[in-house]
A = this chain, B = another copy of it.
Amino acid sequence: MARRSDHTRAELKKLALDSAREIVRKDGISALSTRKLATKIGYTSGTIYQIFKNRDDLGDQLNTQTVTRLFEHCRDIPAQASVQLRLRKLAEGFVAFASQNTNEWDAVINYPFTRDYRPSEGYNLQIEQLMGLICEATIDLYDANQKVQQLRDARLLWASLYGIFSLASAGRLGEERTLNETVADLADLYLAARS
């Protein structure tokens, strides 16, 4: 029996999330079960439900972390002079992160949530942060009174990106063009329309 003072509640949660991430990273989202996770951290499955409300909650927190990491990855991209360059670099950042974290990113898109699950406030906040990065990159293209349009475009870009990644991760993008190129196509289309 795991001694009850082995970890504080917070430590245990971190341990669980880290281990969950490791399982997903190594064997994909389908390999993540409460039992496997429990075993990995030296507890039993019941304890998992003391840390997380349920499987949806576990997935939400895992994915929130992943999106946070994507955000941090993209935030650290060096500043660029033009919108073109900024968008290009941002797109490359997205693709690079997704390629280096295939299974984790796949979980963001394909985690088997319950039918009526809705993302947590924390998750949505992280997505807003990402949207902020897109807005920063495209700020030169909009007047001060076009903020609404800018955010609308950012959302559209995000949705499009999301679709490209979804199809790519499911092998449904088609053969003749890589993920990188398709994302670049999107950036080009956007620039052709707005600049």
State the A residues within 8 Å of B (CB).
Answer: 28-30, 109-110, 112-115, 118-119, 124, 127, 152-153, 155-156, 159-167, 170-174, 177, 182, 185-186, 189-190, 192-194
Contact = CB atoms under 8 A, between A and B. Distances in A.
A118 B112 CA distance: 17
Given A115-B28, A119-B170, A189-B193, A159 B156 contact: no
Given A152-B177, A163-B163, 19 more contacts: A28-B115, A30-B115, A109-B166, A110-B110, A118-B170, A118-B171, A119-B172, A153-B189, A155-B174, A155-B182, A156-B182, A156-B186, A156-B189, A159-B164, A160-B186, A162-B163, A162-B166, A162-B167, A189-B189
Main secondary structure of the interface of A (DSSP, over half): helix
A72 to B, nearest CB: 20
Contacts of A161: 163
